[in-house]
Each structure stands twice: as C-alpha cells, then as structure tokens.
Amino acid sequence: MGYMKLHRPMAKIRRDKIWRWRCQWSIVTITAVALIIYNAAANVWLLHPPSCPPHSTPPAAEPATCEPCVDTAPNSALDDDPIARLDLRLGRWDGSRSFRMFDYATVGDMYAELSMNRRVCLATQSSIERLHELLRIAAHWTGPISVAVFVAGDELRLLRAFATWLFRCQPEIYSRLAIHVATSAERPGVQGTVPTWAKDCEAKPLPPGERRADTVAWRARHPYPQNHLRNLARRNCHTPYVFLVDVDIVPSRGMSEALDRFLATAPKCPLCAYVVPTYELDRRVANFPANKSELLRLSKNKLAIPFHRKVFIYNQYASNFSRWEASGGNESLETHVSHNVTNFELLYEPFYVAPDTVPAHDERFLGYGFTRNTQVYEMFLIGYQFRVLSPIFTIHWGLQARRTRPLWREKQNEKNRKHFETFKRELFARYRRDPLHLIRRPPQPGKKT
C-alpha cells in the first residue's frame, strides 16, 4: 500500500517532465520553422526589389522612393551648367605643354547614338566671339557635331553660359553636340559667375562686350591655336568619316543625310577625300540658297563667289568652280562626284569629307596662314585623290576683301611661312619625294577660275 502511494507521485512527475519536454521542443520547432519562412521571404524580397516608378508618375512634391535610380532625378540637376564641373587641373597637354585640352566638357544625350548611326560627323572649332555661328551650322546639319572651343581667362564662364543656354533653350541642338575645351597654360580659363542670359530663352546668347578688357587684350597679342582645335574636334568624332569645317562655314540643308546616302554606295576608296565646294554669299541675300540652281543664280548676279577668290585665290582654285557650275544645276539631286581635282596646286585648302586617318594638322602653325593647306599638302604627297561633290555646297556669309584683313593676320602669316620651310623639308625626308616637283605652281591672281 505504501508502495502504491509512493509510485503515483513518481509517475505524475515523470508525465509532467515529458509534457514540458514536448512543449519546449514544439516551441523550438515552431520558432525554427518561422525563422526559415522569414529568411526565405526576406531573400525573395531582396532579390526582387520594387521597380523604379516612371519619371512622370510620382507627384512633384513626393520624395524619390527608389534611390539610386538616376532617371528619377531632374535633368537640370545633372546637365544644367555641366562645364562647371570641369576640373581645370586634368586637361591633357599638347606637345609643347602650351595648351591644355579637355575632351567632352559636355555631351548631348544623342551624340553617341547619332555617331553609331550616321556615317559623317561634322567637326569644327571656334573662339568665344564666333561661337554663335554654331547655331547656323546646327540648323542645317542633323548629324553629330564635335566642336572644340578655345577659352582664355573669364571666357570659360561665357562658354558655360552658352552650354547652359543651349541645354535650356535649344535642346534639340544641344543633344547632338559634343563640346571640347582648349585653354592656354599662360592664361588658363577660370570659372567665374555665369551671366543671367544663360537661363533666358528670350535673350540672344553671347552678346558682345562681356569679356574683360584684359582678356581681350591678351587674345589680341597671342595667336589663336586653330590647328590644336581642329585636331581636338576631329579626334572626338566617332563616325567612319569626318567633315571638318570652320565655324563660319554653313552646310547646305540636308547635307548629313545626302552624304550618308552617297557614302553608302560609293566605291571603297581609302585614299579619297570628297571636296565640298564653298562659296561666299553677299550679306544682302536674305535667305540661304535652297539648292545648287539657286546658288548658281546668285553667282551669275555676283552675289555669290568662290570662297576666298578676292583675298587669296589659290585657297580653292584647284576645285575648278567653272566645271562645277557648268551643269547649271540640271543634274541629279543625289550627291555624286562632279569631277576629280587634276590640277592640284600649292596652298590649296578645300573643305572635304574623309576618314580621320588623314594626317593631323601640324600644331606648330599658330594663328593664321599655312594652317590648313599644309595638312592638305601632306595628303597630296601620300597619294590622296580629291573628288569634288555636287550638288551639295557650303556657304560663308559675307564677301571678303583684302582691305578688311587686320595687319596682325599678315604678321602671323609671315611667321608661319618660315615654319612652312621647315615643314617642307620634313615632308621631303619622310616621303622621299620633292613636294615642289610634284605639283604645278599657283596661277596668276588675275586668271579666271
């Protein structure tokens, strides 16, 4: 009897222990399962975050919920005044360490895509006081445009202002541009304060008189490094062909598309340069010539003349404008070769379309004189054939005259003439050919082209 009384409490204690053990393991098991489910759900959530909302869907005052998705940030924060972020310590030097070059100071969002889809990039160069001419080029040229700009001192703030104005007021033009900067080691660009017209689409960009007097004086004493800028603009084109022009040379409408069609079917010719005829147009002419027939009508009335005919006839003489005009405009509207240049002459400097495998422009020539024709001269020695295109053309607005040329240009020309003698000897040594015996001498200035 005593044994039975003792056994019952012992059995109860054993049952209670077993019950508590089962409860504890149940809790542990449930907790473990819950943790496994939680971890699985967390992993799924982390691997599949909510997608970025479209830029236009969130209310204007609502904070971004998908950082760091950059497409939710306003474009003005990223692109408005992009040149302000230019680190002036990081430009690459030219060979003489006299100039710093900055590639892609600002790039439009369509420049890379256009460069992939078009065959020709227009390359040009400018100083600040001529940069407004770029708007005329961009109005006619729909392909990518690579432009190199020289700035000294406070001119950099004006370039920043122009880029900002384009971004805000001419986004279609801005989208096709790549702007590069060159500055002098002696007078490097400084950022400064951007003028108010940069954000005023009713204002005319780059009004005269905004540069400091000491900057203007410095520029007058120092030659403009146009060959540095030509190389800078050319090398930052990414199309198979480059059309290098000065900033005051305006292409005829639709030239980008016309050249694309022509080059798509033209026979492969690695040593061909396609010359685009250039005319000066009297400023009294209100409208750009619509086509070649209209240009020839203006030429007949002495309102358009071959480029540089009055100031330096040899500049374009070998292009043979008489032969180009002989068609009277009665020809195919599709771009084609009118004729080959068969009378190459010293100092010929056409504007042409070619791959950027042509020789670089020699950067020892500073200022004016022998800057373009020396490069064309070397192309001729290599064996390039110059072929004149029709009916496309380019225009320089305004008839030029010798009396309007400043004296300092003649001084720079004489200095570069001395460099040319050295350059000529170098070409003879490089190509083992006497350049002067390969070409005919320039005609007398009075001879008709």
pTM of the model: 0.79
Tokens at residue 5, please?
């009384």
Domain boundaries, the chain: 78-247, 249-444
**Collapsed DSSP state (helix, strand, coil) of residue 241:** strand
pLDDT at 78 (0 to 100): 45
pLDDT for res 55: 43
Distance of alpha carbon 280 from alpha carbon 303, whole angstroms: 8
Encode 304-316: b = buried (16+ Cβ within 10 Å), e = exposed: bbbbbbeebbbbb
**What is residue 125's three-state secondary structure?**
strand
**Shortest CA distance to 235 belongs to which of 102, 133, 127, 376?**
102
Q: Is 349 exposed, middle or buried (0-12, 13-18, 19+ CB in 10 A)?
A: buried
Q: Are strands 145-151 and 177-184 parallel, antiparallel or unpaired?
A: parallel
d(CA 198, CA 209): 15
Q: Whole-angstrom Cα distance, residue 179 to residue 426?
A: 33
Reduced to 3 states (helix: H, G, I; strand: E, B; else coil), residue 372 is coil
Enter the tokens of residue 423.
């350059």
- pLDDT tens-digit profile, the chain (449 residues): 444 444 455 556 666 666 675 666 667 677 666 666 766 665 545 444 444 444 444 444 443 433 333 333 344 444 578 899 899 999 999 999 999 999 999 999 999 999 999 999 999 999 999 999 999 999 999 999 999 999 999 999 999 999 999 999 999 999 999 999 999 999 999 999 999 999 999 999 999 999 999 999 999 999 999 999 999 999 999 999 999 999 999 999 999 999 999 999 999 999 999 999 999 999 999 999 999 999 999 999 999 999 988 888 888 999 999 999 998 888 899 999 999 999 998 889 999 999 999 999 999 999 998 999 999 999 999 999 999 999 999 999 999 887 766 777 778 888 899 889 899 889 988 887 665 555 554 554 444 43
Beta strands 99-107 and 120-127: pairing type?
unpaired
pLDDT for 37: 72
Q: How far is CA 388 from CA 275, 278, 382, in A?
A: 5, 11, 19
Instruction: Return the beta strands (E) in 216-309 as ranges.
Output: 241-244, 249-251, 272-275, 278-281, 304-306
Rounded Cα distance between 149 and 127, Å, is 6
Neighbours of 224 (CB within 10 A): 18
3-class secondary structure, 281? strand
386 sits in which H/E element: strand 385-390
Count of beta carbons in the 10 Å neighbourhood of residue 352: 25
Torsion on CA atoms 377, 445, 326, 374, rounded to nearest 10: 10
φ and ψ at residue 148, rounded to 5 degrees = -105, 135
- Six-digit token string for 355: 């791959």
| Closest alpha carbon to 242 in 132, 124, 354, 357 | 354
- Residue 435 burial by CB count (10 A; 0-12/13-18/19+): exposed, middle or buried? middle
User: Do the strands 385-390 and 272-275 form a parallel or antiparallel pair, or are they unpaired?
Assistant: parallel
